[in-house]
Amino acid sequence: MEIRLEGLGPLKDYFPPEGHHSLFLEEARSLRDILEELKIPLEAFLAATCEDKVVELDYHPRDGETIRLIPLVGGG
Amino acid sequence: MKGYTGMILRVDLTTGKINKEPLPESLCRKYIGGRGFIARILFDELPRHIEPLGPQNKVIVATGPLSGQFVPSAGRTILGTKSPATRGYGESNIGGHFATELKQAGYDLIILEGQAEKPSILHIKDGDVNLLSGQRYWGMGAIQTERVLKDDLGERYQCLTIGPAGEKEVPIACVSHDFGRQAGRCGIGAVFGNKRLKAIAVIGTQDIPIADFRSALEVGKKMYQACMSHHALELWQKYGTSSVVSWSNRIGTFPTRNFQSGHFSSFTNISGIVMRERIVVKDKGCFACPMACGKYSRIHREDKKIYVEGPEYETAALLGGNCGLSNIEDLAYANYLCDELGLDTISAGSAVAFAMECFERGIIGVRETEGLVLRFGESEIVFKLLEKMGRREGIGDLLCQGVKATARVWGKGSEHFAMEVKGLEISGYESRNAPAMMLSYMTSDIGAHHRPSWAVTADITLGRNSLEGKAQRVVELQHLRPLFDVLGVCRLPWIELDISPSLYVKALNACTGMDKTIEELLEISERIWNLTRLFNIRENPGYGRHCDYPPGRWMGEPVQTGPTRGKTLSRDQVDHLLDEYYKLRGWDENGIPLPETLEQFGLFQEAKEIGSWKSD
């Protein structure tokens, strides 16, 4: 299956010039595993969204889905 | 000067005398507004060493030059007093619509003095200002009071109210507005209660003067366009501050079980995702705000529908993880109880968690708790303790005075995990692996609150284990962030949607006709920071470095679980941070501003007097 991973704002530093990763996965994997493999620090983004809803790191993306990482700016 | 109404409303609750005074232009130029007005007026007008809960104390309700203007989230009201929680400088602010209405009624700020004999309501309708009987509202919840006041006076009135906790002068009582927003910190609600002031209701019909309408419109448009096109806008609109819960837990800063840890294993049950899916019924915004980060929620309890705004991140942190509550409905109900009673959810949550840990450690027993068995995660116990605190009953009469005062009574080493600085309970970030955030709490002028400096991102970018550059970043933040409380706007569009501070400066100049630069505004902010430090020194003989230390738990005790397990800072590391911080500020090794530093900011009289305060 294929998923798309996008980093917004300053997170683009962790992505190739086109601003996203297209990933081919042989089996379903958690978002945490995917991000760790890509060496994207878990503390660098505030939230991950899929279809405009926030998902946790144990979420297993499905075929065709786009995951967006929203950068941390402030909070609190 | 344009941008301001030019009028101060001074209300003496003892005599009932109401005065309208011109707002000095020099005050506007030197202190701009909001927090700046409050710091200067409290410093100048309060007699030294007065009791915070007494007729000599004053409450200032202030707006800023951008309050009510065409700027995103321009609805901030800033309140200040000598805090009954800390006996030092007290300040807290509130979103909603009150500031705009107050300016439309013709006033930039209200100074509340004295003490009424009977419960009162301050009623402001443009130029007509009078004190009404508050007897009928006394005893009502803070939210209920607002509902009934609007029913009685008219829906368009904007109100500040207190609940039973404020009436009973609970030192952690808040001021409420707009059905669930609070100026929560520093016990300002208790000072309202001490003055027998149940509420302020205001309605106005006047225009707010603007110096250069076209420029103001142009810069306002730019700011809104930047907000509306930002990639994080939808996240904030949908989840508000609750979106921070999962992230904070992920990095080990989510207060858990009285800050024993920074990782709550049940966090998903109280996260923004669950909150949105299960209880949120409406999004809610403050005046002129495109973010609408307020979430209005509905829960059911004993066959009744209960509505509450929130829970916000800080409430989820302190009443949720910190008390071990792992059910979103329970958390929302605890939030509701605090809102109606008029309790600060941060301090109240910290007090409950402190009592739970003391009970689990055997420092207190059922004799002190009137038979209650205090365990983390027991929601009914949390509810009972909140009720007792809000009404000053039994154990609640002690707990409501905050964890510092409670630890003094219970002793047996409990001071070590009384999680406060300067008497104010620490807000929502476990900081043993976030030195910049810890320093922010240590040096905040009101006590341990994140508003003046939220530095967790500095800890991430500069290295969680490093002390390098942390003090510098905290100083920078303590100048920039409070500027928003000076201008009278919410800081979130800047922080979360990247709206450039330079646009706020342009908006200020367009609205007022001033010609300020960001550097000049930061200098003003630093002047105010020195002034609030001086207030604390003047009011508390012996004030100094020891007042800036974090609780014992944060100096040497390792974090128990989660991603920061084993992390802590030593006393030497804490001292290193303070040494660097004081040096950057031009303060001596005890944290006292040097006379030449004060003179640099035009605080000449204070520079002359500071020696005499220290020897008091």
- Judge whether B309 is closer than 8 Å to chain A, CB to CB: no
For residue A15, the chain B residues in CB contact (below 8 A) are none
Q: Which long-range contacts (CB under 8 A, 24 or more apart) does B514-522 make?
A: B514/B1, B514/B3, B514/B29, B521/B32, B521/B483, B521/B486, B522/B479, B522/B480, B522/B483
- Judge whether A74 is closer than 8 Å to chain B, CB to CB: yes
Do A75 and B314 make contact, defined as CB atoms within 8 angstroms?
A: no
Residue A68 pairs with which residues in a beta bridge? A6, A49
Q: Give pLDDT, residue A76.
A: 39
Q: Give pLDDT, residue B110.
A: 98
For residue B484, the chain A residues in CB contact (below 8 A) are none
Q: Where are the domains of chain B?
A: 7-203, 230-424, 431-481+517-614
- Two tokens, residue B187: 């016990």
3-state secondary structure of B73: coil
Q: For residue B114, give the DSSP letter.
A: S
CATH top-level class of B431-481+517-614: mainly alpha
Q: How far is A49 from chain B (nearest CA, A)?
A: 9
Rounded to two decimals, what is the model's pTM? 0.96
| Residues A32-52 pLDDT 10s | 999 999 999 998 899 999 988
B22: exposed, middle or buried (Cβ count in 10 Å: 0-12, 13-18, 19+): exposed
3-state secondary structure of B132: strand
End-to-end CA distance of chain B, in Å? 40
| Residues B282-309 pLDDT 10s | 999 999 999 999 999 999 998 899 999 9
Single-letter code of the amino acid located at B396: G
Find, among B136, B68, B72, the residue nearest to B102 by Cα: B68
Q: Give pLDDT, residue A75.
A: 43
Q: What is the ipTM of this complex?
A: 0.89
CATH of region B230-424, choose from 1.10.569.10, 1.10.10.60, 1.10.10.10, 3.40.50.11540: 1.10.569.10
Calpha distance B28→A19 (Å, rounded) = 47
- Judge whether A19 is closer than 8 Å to chain B, CB to CB: no
The string of DSSP letters for B547-593 reads GGPPPGGGBTPPP-SSTTTT--B-HHHHHHHHHHHHHHHTB-TTSPB
- Two tokens, residue A12: 């683009």
Calpha distance B52→B35 (Å, rounded) = 19
For residue B463, the chain A residues in CB contact (below 8 A) are none
Do A54 and B250 make contact, defined as CB atoms within 8 angstroms?
A: no
A-to-B residue pairs, Cβ atoms closer than 8 angstroms: 82
Q: How far is A60 from chain B (nearest CA, A)?
A: 16
Of B248, B314, B495, the CB nearest to A73: B495
CATH of region B7-203, choose from 1.10.3300.10, 3.60.9.10, 3.40.50.620, 2.60.40.650: 3.60.9.10
The H or E element containing residue B338 is helix B328-341
For residue B492, the chain A residues in CB contact (below 8 A) are 74
Name residues whose C-beta falls within 8 Å of residue B8's C-beta, 6 or more positions apart in sequence.
B20, B21, B22, B23, B107, B108, B109, B110, B111
Note whether B198 and B213 are within 8 A (CB).
Answer: no
Find, among B262, B268, B257, B267, the residue nearest to B374 by Cα: B257
| Minimal-distance CA residue of chain A relative to B251 | A43
Do A73 and B231 make contact, defined as CB atoms within 8 angstroms?
A: no
What's the pLDDT band for A74 if we cut at 50, 70, 90? Answer: low
Of A9, A55, A72, the CB nearest to B457: A72
Do A54 and B246 make contact, defined as CB atoms within 8 angstroms?
A: yes
Q: Helices B345-360 and B403-410 sit at what angle, rounded to 10 degrees?
A: 20
- Judge whether A28 is closer than 8 Å to chain B, CB to CB: no
Calpha distance B387→B165 (Å, rounded) = 9
If chain B, 616 residues long, is cut into consecutive pieces of 10 residues, what is the mean pLDDT of each piece? 97 98 98 98 97 98 97 96 98 97 98 98 97 98 98 98 98 97 97 98 97 97 95 92 94 97 96 95 95 96 94 97 98 98 98 98 96 97 98 98 98 97 98 98 98 93 95 96 97 90 97 97 98 96 96 96 96 98 97 96 90 69
- B230-424 matches B7-203 in CATH topology: no
Single-letter code of the amino acid located at B12: D
3-class SS letters over B360-408: HCCCCCHHHHCCCCCCCCCHHHHHHHHHHHHCCCCHHHHHCCCHHHHHH
Query: What domains can you pick out in chain A, each with its CATH number?
Result: 2-71 (3.10.20.30)
Calpha distance B143→B150 (Å, rounded) = 11
- Judge whether B429 is closer than 8 Å to chain A, CB to CB: yes
Calpha distance B210→B513 (Å, rounded) = 8
For residue B268, the chain A residues in CB contact (below 8 A) are 56
Cis peptide before B311, with omega less than 30 degrees from 0?
yes
Return the residue in B230, B244, B318, B437 with the most chain A beta carbons within 10 A, the one to mutate for interface testing.
Answer: B244
The string of DSSP letters for B171-234 reads TTB-EEETTTEEE-GGGHHHHHHHTTEEEEEEE--PPPP-S-HHHHHHHHHHHHHHHHT-TTHH
For residue B243, the chain A residues in CB contact (below 8 A) are 46-47, 54
Q: Which residues of B239-262 are buried (b: 16+ CB within 10 A; e: fewer)?
A: bbbbbbbbbbbbbbbbbbbbbbbb
For residue A55, the chain B residues in CB contact (below 8 A) are 273
Find, among B253, B374, B258, the residue nearest to B318 by Cα: B258
Q: How far is A31 from chain B (nearest CA, A)?
A: 13
Q: Order of strands, edge to edge, in the sheet holding A45-50?
A: A20-24, A2-7, A66-71, A45-50, A53-55
Q: How far is B495 from chain A (nearest CA, A)?
A: 5
Do B241 and A9 make contact, defined as CB atoms within 8 angstroms?
A: no
Do B313 and A76 make contact, defined as CB atoms within 8 angstroms?
A: yes
Interface of B with A in 495-534 (CB under 8 A): 495-498
Note whether B538 and B88 are within 8 A (CB).
Answer: no
Number of neighbouring beta carbons within 10 Å of residue B122: 25
- Judge whether A50 is closer than 8 Å to chain B, CB to CB: no
For tokens 């983390």, the residue is B376
Do A76 and B427 make contact, defined as CB atoms within 8 angstroms?
A: yes
Do B238 and A52 make contact, defined as CB atoms within 8 angstroms?
A: yes
Calpha distance B280→B37 (Å, rounded) = 37
Do A47 and B235 make contact, defined as CB atoms within 8 angstroms?
A: yes
Q: Pick B63 or A9 by higher pLDDT.
A: B63
Q: Give pLDDT, residue A51.
A: 87
DSSP β-ladder status, B120-125 and B197-203: parallel
Mean pLDDT of chain A: 89
The Cα angle at residue B174 between residues B383 and B116, in degrees rounded to 5: 120
Return the residue in B233, B235, B491 with the most chain A beta carbons within 10 A, the one to mutate for interface testing.
Answer: B235
Do A75 and B427 make contact, defined as CB atoms within 8 angstroms?
A: no
- Judge whether B268 is closer than 8 Å to chain A, CB to CB: yes
Sign of CA dihedral B465, B469, B475, B481: negative
- Two tokens, residue B217: 């419109």
Calpha distance B264→B426 (Å, rounded) = 17
Do A76 and B247 make contact, defined as CB atoms within 8 angstroms?
A: no
For residue A10, the chain B residues in CB contact (below 8 A) are none
- Two tokens, residue B323: 């008390």
State residue B238 phi and psi, 5-degree precision: -85, -40
